[in-house]
Amino acid sequence: MAPETRRKLTVVSAVLLFHVALLWAMQSGLLRKAVELVVPVQMLSEFIEPPAPKVVPPPPAPPVPVEQPTPKNKTPSVPPTPQPLAIVDNTPAPDARQVEAAPPTPVAPVAAPVQQTAAASPAPPRMELPSSDATYLQNPKPVYPPLSKRMGEQGQVIYSVLIGTDGLPVSARLVKSSGFDRLDVASFNAVMRWRYTPGKRNGVPTAMSFNVPINWVLE
């Protein structure tokens, strides 16, 4: 056998023996004990467990540009063009003829429209009060009470007498007293005994009240 071939076989044999010994050591646990003695636990864990990748935060989003409102250019107002003023020239032209103005024609006055008068309101009803002075009635004078004469009692008595359509008294109400009861009672008896001309409304007899005065005076 050539020397070079022998060297290769020796190297191959040594490699095989090394692998066989390594496998036997791994099966028997000797290799792990040797590694624990030589390599620290922390280094072994770092060797076995790869470090977690670092999380790089994403770059911040660029700010969104805010569009500023573009100010509108105001159109400058143009002042109005001054108009030429008319100049009145009172100087007559050399060839102009002076014409006299004719006097204005008088205008006849316009008559004011005749206003229609409003319809006349109806006339108030014609009233005729009752009366006790008619001659045909022949009413006697009131009787002066004798005791009132001796006592010197005097005065005026007024009664409001309601007269019916037949001219007879219906009732009497004392309006003014003479201050003496005897004279007031004598006045009541007189007005309720008399006859009257009934009151009328537009010529029609109507029941109506009127005041009847009686004066008591000693002669």
Contact 205, 168 (CB under 8 A): no
Going by pLDDT thresholds of 50, 70 and 90, the confidence category of residue 86 is very low
CA distance 215 to 143: 12
Given this structure, which CATH class describes domain 127-216?
A: alpha beta
Q: Is 38 helix (H, G, I), strand (E, B) or coil?
A: helix
Residue type, position 36, single letter: E
Nearest Cα neighbor of 128 from 39, 204, 75, 15 is 204
User: Residue 132's pLDDT is what?
Assistant: 84
User: Residue 137's pLDDT is what?
Assistant: 82
* Model confidence pLDDT, tens digit, residues 2-58: 677 777 788 888 888 888 877 776 766 655 655 455 444 444 444 445 555 566 666
pTM higher than the cut 0.75: no
Q: In a 10 Å sphere around its CB, with 0-12 CB exposed, 13-18 middle and 19+ buried, how is residue 31 labelled? A: middle
* For the chain, percent of residues with pLDDT exceeding 70: 56
Report the 3 state secondary structure along 134-154.
Answer: CHHHCCCCCCCCHHHHHHCCC
Task: State the number of CA atoms in the 13 A half-sphere of 167 facing the CB.
Answer: 11
